[in-house]
């Protein structure tokens, strides 16, 4: 055989290049002339420049590639079982997966739904393949995560909490924070939701913490399944980021959009920070038993991914298009993580209300204290006593820690991001449409009162969404007995009395709290209480709240 003549070359036939294929596929679109396409997704943005497809892919290469990825994921799950993964997995970690995996399939499928919106609003058909792939990707993410969760339920020592997962998602004070995230992808101004909030911010900035940092921590806790699934999920994200950036460039093209873009970048960045950092920061820092001082803390990861990668290389360059970037918000978000102990305060809150959870949180111990002190100097002084108290009160027969005088003050809730107002000095109270609301930070107040309105800086914004529903969880159970609320939520094991949540990881029946152990304590809504005060009482109350508290050892 002459040199260079291979079998492959003999049988190879002329094909069309991938660029040409993508171009022809994009030419499937046309401008309707008999019936105009439905204009059902509202937006105040004006987009006239057709976005370009940076990826140049066609579906016939997409499906086999994804199937191959799937094969690797499911193969790895089988291998993990053969390798007896659960014998060595850390329950502290898997417990938090009950929360995380209850939340995440909904934002994922919401991202699939939002492809309808950007698909409809983006002029031209160049990006349609990209949007289609993302739609199917997000369907993949949602159902592959439901599958992982089922797999944990079938194989982990304590399935309670996994077994009620989607019902729990609807009831829990913590999952509604995640729902704010998912609903924000699909509701209100379609570009605000599906392009800026979802793609330009959540996917581009925050999926690294979600889908890369979480898997690393999982592996450190003997969980090889989550990394397999989530790194595979993350491998789809570059496509999504490409879609979002391309559409963003079309939006930027019209200077009339810049004002809205500034608003939405501000809102989306801040709320993503508040929600994602609360959840993922807590899971990574408090769901782990690994206290290797050489590994990066969440604050260090944040600095690398959000500050260096996203803020410096993605957000800042937008300034050259004349977009005002809110540098102060980015710096402030970082300060909240490194100086104001945002993540630690969220973990403290989750443990303060452990009885309302559907997963277990065990106390932090000496080993944990040492690591926290090393990574966050001053940690012990602020949080040490809390966790020592928590350990002390973890056996049934004690009152729930929430109702013990430890110095802890049950927090108000932020009306914008639904995380409580944990950085006490930052709380803001304001009136919107004649009602009093509390916010975790000035930017949260602005989000509700200024951004989510029908007018922005004198410009009509008829497409903008509104905050609605019963956004403060506590108001649903104001005046209820703890035991009745837990029963109402369904966070009780099949024996009808043992709580799903436990403030420890003991699997001994004698250590487990039942409804009887939590009866006789009353839930109060901080917001209803605040609204019931006179203006003077309110001012005094908030001034006191802002001073914060000091937890003392009991």
Partner 1 sequence: MTAQVQEPEVKSGAAGAKKFPGWDSRKYNYFEPKGRKATHYEDMTVDVQPDPERYLLQDWIISFADGTPTYSKDWTKLKSSDWHKFRAPDQEWERTHYQRQSTIVGMIKNVVDNARKSGAPARFDPRWVKILQDHLGAYKHAEYGLGKATMQAQRYGYTQMINNAILTNSSYKLRFSQDLTLYLSEIGMDLPVFDATAGKTHWMEDPIWQGVREATEAVMGATDYLEQYFATNVVFEPLVAELFRSGFIMQMAAAQNDFATPAVVSAAEADYEQNLANSVELFHLLAQDPEHGEANRQVMEGWLEKHGTLCVKAANQLQPVWSQPRVKVAQFNDALAAASNRLKAICAEIGIEVPAALTATTANDTQPAAEA
Looking at the DSSP bridge assignments, the partners of residue 439 are 428
Q: Closest distance between partner 1 and the C-beta of residue 21, in Å?
A: 6
Structure tokens of 365?
């111990």
Q: Closest distance between Fe ion and the C-beta of residue 106, in Å?
A: 11
Q: Pick the stretch among 157-165, 176-184, 239-247, 396-404 that binds Fe ion (CB under 5 A).
A: 239-247
Q: Which does 119 bind (CB under 5 to 8 A by kind): partner 1, Fe ion, none?
A: partner 1
Q: Closest distance between partner 1 and the C-beta of residue 185, in Å?
A: 10
- Secondary structure class of 30 (helix, strand, coil): coil
Q: Closest distance between partner 1 and the C-beta of residue 42, in Å?
A: 7
- Which helix (H) or strand (E) covers residue 455, if one does? strand 455-456
* Rounded to 5°, angle at Cα 501 from 496 and 506: 100
Q: 108 or 368: whose CB is closer to Fe ion? A: 108
Query: In this chain, which of 92, 141, 360, 448 binds Fe ion, going by CB under 5 A?
Result: 141
* DSSP conformational letter for 309: I
Query: In this chain, which of 240, 345, 448, 504 binds Fe ion, going by CB under 5 A?
Result: 240
Residue 445 and residue 460 in contact, taking contact as beta carbons nearer than 8 Å? no
Q: Closest distance between partner 1 and the C-beta of residue 110, in Å?
A: 8
Q: 3 or 495: whose CB is closer to partner 1? A: 495
Q: Pick the stretch among 92-100, 102-110, 143-151, 268-276 that binds Fe ion (CB under 5 A).
A: 102-110
Helices marked H in 17-104 — which ranges? Answer: 18-26, 59-82, 85-88, 91-103
Q: Pick the stretch among 2-10, 36-44, 140-148, 341-349 that binds Fe ion (CB under 5 A).
A: 140-148
- Which helix (H) or strand (E) covers residue 439, if one does? strand 435-439
Q: Pick the stretch among 135-143, 160-168, 251-259, 488-496 that binds Fe ion (CB under 5 A).
A: 135-143
Q: Pick the stretch among 150-158, 238-246, 354-362, 381-389 that binds Fe ion (CB under 5 A).
A: 238-246
Burial tier of 16 (Cβ tally within 10 Å: 0-12, 13-18, 19+): exposed
Q: Closest distance between partner 1 and the C-beta of residue 26, in Å?
A: 10
Q: Closest distance between Fe ion and the C-beta of residue 3, in Å?
A: 47
Q: 248 or 356: whose CB is closer to partner 1? A: 356
Question: In 3D, which of 396, 397, 441, 450 has the Cα closest to residue 422?
Answer: 441
Q: Which does 465 bind (CB under 5 to 8 A by kind): Fe ion, partner 1, none?
A: partner 1
DSSP string, 479-539: T-BHHHHHHHHT-B-TTSSBBS--SS----GGG--BHHHHTT-B---HHHHHHTS-HHHHH
* Rounded to 5°, angle at Cα 147 from 181 and 145: 25
Structure tokens of 407?
């110095």
Q: Closest distance between Fe ion and the C-beta of residue 193, in Å?
A: 14
Rounded Cα distance between 347 and 353, Å, is 10
Q: Which does 15 bind (CB under 5 to 8 A by kind): partner 1, Fe ion, none?
A: partner 1
Q: 297 or 525: whose CB is closer to partner 1? A: 525
Q: Which does 63 bind (CB under 5 to 8 A by kind): Fe ion, partner 1, none?
A: partner 1
Sign, CA torsion 450/475/549/380: negative
Q: Closest distance between Fe ion and the C-beta of residue 114, in Å?
A: 10
Q: Which does 8 bind (CB under 5 to 8 A by kind): Fe ion, partner 1, none?
A: none
Q: Closest distance between Fe ion and the C-beta of residue 301, in Å?
A: 20
Q: 140 or 344: whose CB is closer to partner 1? A: 140
Q: Which does 171 bind (CB under 5 to 8 A by kind): Fe ion, partner 1, none?
A: partner 1
- Secondary structure class of 66 (helix, strand, coil): helix
Q: 175 or 207: whose CB is closer to partner 1? A: 175
* Site residues (CB under 5 A) for Fe ion, limited to 197-216: 203
Q: Which does 240 bind (CB under 5 to 8 A by kind): partner 1, Fe ion, none?
A: Fe ion
Length of the chain measured in residues: 554
Residue 411 and residue 349 in contact, taking contact as beta carbons nearer than 8 Å? yes
Q: 187 or 246: whose CB is closer to partner 1? A: 187
Q: 40 or 534: whose CB is closer to partner 1? A: 40
Q: 32 or 255: whose CB is closer to partner 1? A: 32
Q: Closest distance between partner 1 and the C-beta of residue 236, in Å?
A: 11
Q: 72 or 374: whose CB is closer to partner 1? A: 72
Q: 271 or 341: whose CB is closer to partner 1? A: 271
Question: In 3D, which of 375, 282, 277, 229 has the Cα closest to residue 92?
Answer: 282
Q: 240 or 412: whose CB is closer to Fe ion? A: 240
Q: Closest distance between partner 1 and the C-beta of residue 436, in Å?
A: 18
- Secondary structure class of 42 (helix, strand, coil): coil
Q: Closest distance between partner 1 and the C-beta of residue 18, in Å?
A: 11
Q: Which does 458 bind (CB under 5 to 8 A by kind): Fe ion, partner 1, none?
A: none
Rounded Cα distance between 168 and 166, Å, is 5
Q: Pick the stretch among 12-20, 24-32, 133-141, 259-267 that binds Fe ion (CB under 5 A).
A: 133-141
Q: 184 or 551: whose CB is closer to partner 1? A: 184
Cα–chain-centroid distance for residue 36? Answer: 37
Question: In 3D, which of 260, 258, 276 has the Cα closest to residue 178?
Answer: 276
Cα–chain-centroid distance for residue 467? Answer: 18
Rounded Cα distance between 177 and 197, Å, is 15
Q: Does 239 bind Fe ion (CB under 5 A)?
A: no
The string over 473-508, giving b where at least 16 C-beta atoms fall within 10 Å of a residue's C-beta and e elsewhere, is bbbbbbebbbbebbbebebbbeeeebbbbbbbbeee
Residue 213 and residue 231 in contact, taking contact as beta carbons nearer than 8 Å? no
Query: In this chain, which of 44, 53, 95, 108 binds Fe ion, going by CB under 5 A?
Result: 108
**Which residues of this chain interact with Fe ion, rule CB under 5 A?**
108, 138, 141, 203, 240
């Amino acid at each position: 055989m002459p040199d260079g003549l291979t079998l492959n070359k003999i049988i190879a036939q002329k094909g069309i290049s991938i660029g040409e294929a993508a171009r022809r596929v994009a030419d499937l679109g046309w401008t309707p002339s008999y019936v105009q396409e439905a204009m059902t997704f509202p937006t105040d943005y004006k987009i006239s420049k057709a976005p370009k497809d940076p990826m140049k892919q066609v579906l016939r290469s997409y499906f086999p590639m994804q199937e191959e990825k799937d094969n690797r994921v499911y193969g790895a799950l089988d291998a993990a079982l053969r390798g007896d993964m659960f014998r060595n997995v850390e329950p502290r970690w898997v417990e938090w997966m009950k929360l995380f995996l209850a939340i995440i399939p909904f934002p994922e499928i919401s991202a699939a739904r939002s492809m309808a919106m950007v698909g409809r609003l983006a002029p031209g058909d160049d990006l349609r393949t990209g949007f289609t792939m993302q739609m199917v990707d997000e369907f993949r993410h949602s159902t592959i995560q439901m599958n992982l969760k089922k797999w944990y339920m079938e194989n982990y020592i304590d399935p309670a909490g996994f077994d009620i997962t989607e019902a729990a998602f609807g009831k829990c004070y913590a999952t509604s924070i995640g729902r704010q995230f998912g609903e924000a992808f699909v509701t209100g101004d379609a570009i605000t939701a599906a392009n800026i909030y979802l793609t330009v911010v959540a996917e581009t900035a925050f999926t690294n913490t979600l889908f890369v940092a979480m898997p690393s921590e999982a592996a450190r806790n003997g969980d090889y399944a989550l990394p397999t699934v989530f790194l595979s999920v993350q491998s789809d994200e570059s496509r999504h980021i490409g879609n979002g950036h391309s559409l963003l460039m079309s939006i930027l093209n019209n200077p009339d959009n810049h004002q809205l873009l500034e608003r939405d970048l501000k809102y989306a960045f801040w709320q993503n920070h508040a929600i994602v950092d609360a959840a993922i920061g807590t899971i990574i820092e408090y769901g782990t038993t690994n206290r290797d001082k050489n590994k990066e803390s969440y604050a260090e990861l944040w600095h690398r991914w959000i500050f260096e990668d996203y803020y410096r290389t993605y957000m800042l360059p937008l300034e050259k298009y004349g977009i005002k970037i809110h540098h102060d918000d980015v710096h402030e978000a970082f300060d909240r993580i490194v100086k104001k102990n945002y993540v630690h305060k969220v973990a403290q809150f989750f443990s303060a209300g452990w009885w309302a959870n559907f997963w277990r949180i065990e106390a932090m111990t000496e080993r944990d204290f040492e690591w926290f002190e090393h990574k966050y100097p001053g940690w012990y002084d602020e949080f040490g006593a809390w966790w020592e108290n928590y350990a002390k009160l973890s056996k049934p027969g004690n009152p729930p820690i929430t109702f013990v005088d430890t110095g802890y003050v049950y927090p108000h809730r932020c009306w914008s991001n639904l995380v409580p107002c944990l950085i006490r000095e930052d709380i803001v109270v304001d009136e919107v449409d004649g009602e009093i609301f509390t916010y975790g930070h000035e930017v949260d107040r602005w989000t509700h009162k200024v951004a989510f309105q029908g007018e922005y800086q004198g410009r009509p914004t008829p497409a903008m969404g509104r905050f609605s529903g019963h956004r403060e969880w506590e108001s649903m159970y104001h005046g209820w007995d703890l035991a009745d609320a837990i029963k109402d939520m369904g966070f009780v094991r099949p024996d009808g009395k043992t709580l799903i949540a436990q403030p420890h990881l003991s699997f001994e029946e004698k250590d487990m709290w039942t409804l009887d152990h939590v009866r006789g304590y009353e839930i109060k809504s901080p917001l209803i209480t605040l609204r019931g005060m006179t203006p003077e009482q309110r001012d005094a109350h908030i001034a006191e709240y802002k001073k914060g508290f000091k937890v003392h050892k009991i």
